[in-house]
Chains A and B, each alone.
Chain A
Amino acid sequence: MFLNQFLLLAAILFCIGVYGVLARKNGVLVLMSIELILNAVNINLVAFGAYWHVNDMANVSGQVFALFVIAVAAAEVGVGLALVLLIYRNRQSIDIDDVDMLKG
């Protein structure tokens, strides 16, 4: 019933995020897309948490997990932005296609 809408929303968000990660060249946008993916996951977690909450009042693990993800995401963005900033400083560009020094 009402679970489906959340899952649908999450799926759409996820797909947008994946598209952003794979297609965009701007590093900041890639990071923002990752953020979208993570939030899609969060929506799923909260939705399922609420869903389980009906049957088992004591179970709040979905919500707790979502909070964890938010915290981790914040950290990840922090590190990611720092990297992007440094790349920009060194190369005057944040096009991630230019950053391929690990090429084999």
Chain B
Amino acid sequence: MFNMIDKVWIIPALMAASFLVILFFGKRWGTRATAGIGIASVSICLILSVVVAGNWISRVNHPPTGAALAADIAAANGLTPQTGETIGEEANAATKDSGETVTTDSHASSEEGHAAESGEHGGEHESVPPVVRTVTWFQIGGMEFEMGTLVDGLAAMMLITVCIISLLVHIYSTEYLHGDVRFTHYYAFLSLFTASMLFYVLSSNTLQMLMGWELVGVCSFGLIGHWWEEKKNTDAALKAFLTNRVGDIGLILGVIITFFAAGGISFNVLHINEYALSGNANTTLLLVGALCLFGGVTSKSGQFPLHTWLPDAMAGPTPVSALIHAATMVVAGVYLIARLYAVFFSGLAIGSSTFHYVAFIGGFTTIIGGLLAFVQTDLKKVLAYSTISQLGYMVMALGVGAWTAGVFHLFTHAFFKACLFLGAGSVSHACHHTFDMREMGGLRKKMPVTHATFLVATLALAGIFPLAGFWSKDEILAGSASGQENAYTIMLIFGLITAFLTAAYMGRAYWMTFWGKYRGHAHPHESPKVITVPLIILAGCAVFLGFTNFPKSFFGIKLPGSVTTRFEHFVEPTFSFPPLQHAEFTPWLAIASTILAAGGLFLAYQYYEKNRGPHGLTSRNKVALAGYTFLENKYYLDDLYTGVIAGSTKGPIARAANWFNQNILDGVINGIGFVARKIAGVVYVFGDQLIIDGAVNGSGQGSEGAGQLLRKIQTGKVQQYASILFAGAVVLAGVLVFVV
């Protein structure tokens, strides 16, 4: 197998090229060619990604040693020795400010120390540095900043996930968007999105991550607003973009703070992680930095209170919802935490403090998302709230220190959630493009393949043994139960409640859609192969992928080490990574969560299918009604954001600013102009006209008068002139004779 890991930049570049080709030639070449280009590019990317993953696996199995290792570590940290006065000053200024004493030298030594340390206590396998390849990006103050690719297990895993789902969505869309007015634009954006997402996961520094982060945001904007003729869709697109921008304030500030915290010399992810783990890290600064970064996560990954854009984002085409708003883009935030884990670990003191901001927000989000899913009648919105809830799960896992569990859940969730979305799309494709579950029902018979795959994915999401969701969810629960010093019991409770809620609302959606009698007016039929094959593949993934992280001991079954916890072995970083305790598989938790999930499904079955239980509760009980209304209005957050904050900003506040500008500031200027003109008028009348012009006119009139007098002498009579001349001569002569 050739070595792709050095040239991994080709993967996003290929997708970017695909974007440009589709953008410029798509219209001319027609829809088939457009889709063909997109699918071909993603397929190649998928193959290359698999090669990269293979390279990484062999690298973990045969870690570099000696000089190669040293070279890799140097490349990974991206720190070439810097010289020059300005840099020294800048760096000193930076360290002075943040109260740090890190210099390049002492840092290098601490890094060695850490490398040795992690090698010791890591125990299981040696520290394998990621493969980092960089080129100079830009230069400021003599310091060179680099851009490049960073490949480790996490990145390779994301590469494959993104490529697979993107490929399936590309294929699926050829049918789903068949005959759409903007077919080429759609595929162009899909390519751009895939390129940006791959660029993001391969970033070697935080600035690059910021760039990829925003680019995927733009694609999301463009795709949510795909049918931009309707204001509803563009509103949703704007809401998504602006909400994300709010979170991006945090991200931007977080990038800045971590940059300066780590000495102000590099944005390199590993450099920042390394700093966060070094003994002399400024934890206050890291805490602020981590919280700011988490602001970005909050919006991108739909955490409370910035999750409100995600359900609205369902206005976009369904394959897009599957790709962007379920499987890949929204997990960018989770990926950010996973990537900069050392910053969060040290900053929030995961495992050693009682301040569990990240874990708490994650846990809280799981519950509020899960509750909202119950009051939705739109199938996609149920899935959207489910996504919010599951993203909360991942964030919670990372917050409690269960890194592998969180990332593993990211991995499995991507497949079964994509399967659910595509399944919903298939249903809607059959039912006149509606997503309203009240107009569905009984589709089990009419769409057998869709039904089967949807069921598998539902069970996987609910966490039923032995599907993928069971394993990943269980790890999270085990992590919060026992993980870092048993500090997170509350998160365990959140997790268990959500396990129940998830199963219940998914059961509701499943029964409402596929069972009972058909309530709509269309003639549902099974979708064509282009749609069902991706569903089958994804359902297959939902079944089998859970085994990639098979626990070391499972109810007493002890499999050989070479097949258990493979995911953890290959994906969890061993370089610049905080020392974590790994939770063991906990049988009682697995049983408890399975019971809860099964219970949830059962209750949903009873309530929605068999129509048992307290129906019409909301009309009888005031408290229930209040709760229902509260949920119906999505906790009134939308009213707060759209109505109060956005409304006041673009309404009264903006108008006030404009009024201030027009009347006060401009008024001052115009006032000055007015007063100046008045003063000028006065000066003109009295000063100019009366005195200065008076003098001028006076002198003119004086000369005229004199002229009037003198003209009398000029008679035109030559002899008179001559007499005067002679008289003058006589006078002159007299003067000459008598006076001189």
Contacts and interface: CB of A to CB of B under 8 A. Distances in A.
A87 B604 CA distance: 136
Given A104-B710, A104-B711, A22 B717 contact: no
B520 to A, nearest CB: 114
Contacts of B723: 22
B716 A22 contact: no
A99 B719 contact: no
Contacts of A99: 716, 718
A73 interface: no
A17 B713 CA distance: 24
Contact of B716 (A18, A21, A23, A100): A100
Nearest to A101: B716
A96 B715 contact: no
A22 B722 contact: yes
A22 B715 contact: no
A103 B719 contact: no
B318 to A, nearest CB: 105
A97 B716 CA distance: 8
B726 A104 contact: no
Nearest to A97: B717
B714 interface: yes
B710 A96 contact: no
Interface string A7-34: 0000000000010011100000010000
A21 B714 contact: no
Contacts of B716: 99-104
Nearest to A102: B716
Nearest to B726: A18
Contacts of A104: 710-716
A99 B719 CA distance: 11
Interface string B713-736: 111111100110010000000000
B259 to A, nearest CB: 93
Interface residues of B, number: 13
Contacts of B710: 104
Contacts of B711: 104
Given A18-B726, A22-B726, A103 B715 contact: yes
Contacts, number: 33
B723 to A, nearest CB: 5
Contacts of A103: 714-716
A54 B712 CA distance: 52
A104 B714 CA distance: 5
B713 A21 contact: no
Nearest to B714: A104
Contacts of A21: 719, 722
Contacts of B726: 18, 22
Interface in B667-717: 710-717
Nearest to B716: A100
Contact of B717 (A18, A23, A100): A100
Contacts of B712: 104
A91 B726 CA distance: 29
B582 to A, nearest CB: 123
Nearest to A23: B719
B65 to A, nearest CB: 121
Contacts of B718: 30, 96, 99
Interface string A78-102: 0000000000000000001101111
B713 A22 contact: no
Contacts of A101: 716
A84 to B, nearest CB: 12
Contacts of B719: 21-23, 30, 96-97
Contacts of B717: 96-97, 100
Contacts of B722: 21-22
Contacts of A100: 715-717
B710 to A, nearest CB: 7
B724 to A, nearest CB: 10
Contacts of A23: 719
Contacts of A97: 717, 719
Nearest to A34: B722
A21 B729 CA distance: 15
A96 B715 CA distance: 12
- Looking at B711, B713, B722, the one whose CB has the most chain A CB atoms below 10 A away is B722
7 contacts: A22-B719, A22-B723, A96-B718, A99-B716, A103-B715, A103-B716, A104-B715
Please name the 5 residue pairs, one residue from A and one from B, whose CB atoms are nearest each other, closest first.
A100-B716, A104-B714, A104-B711, A103-B716, A102-B716
Interface of B: 710-719, 722-723, 726
Interface of A: 18, 21-23, 30, 96-97, 99-104
Given A99-B718, A102-B716, 12 more contacts: A18-B726, A21-B719, A22-B723, A22-B726, A30-B719, A96-B718, A96-B719, A103-B714, A103-B715, A104-B712, A104-B713, A104-B716
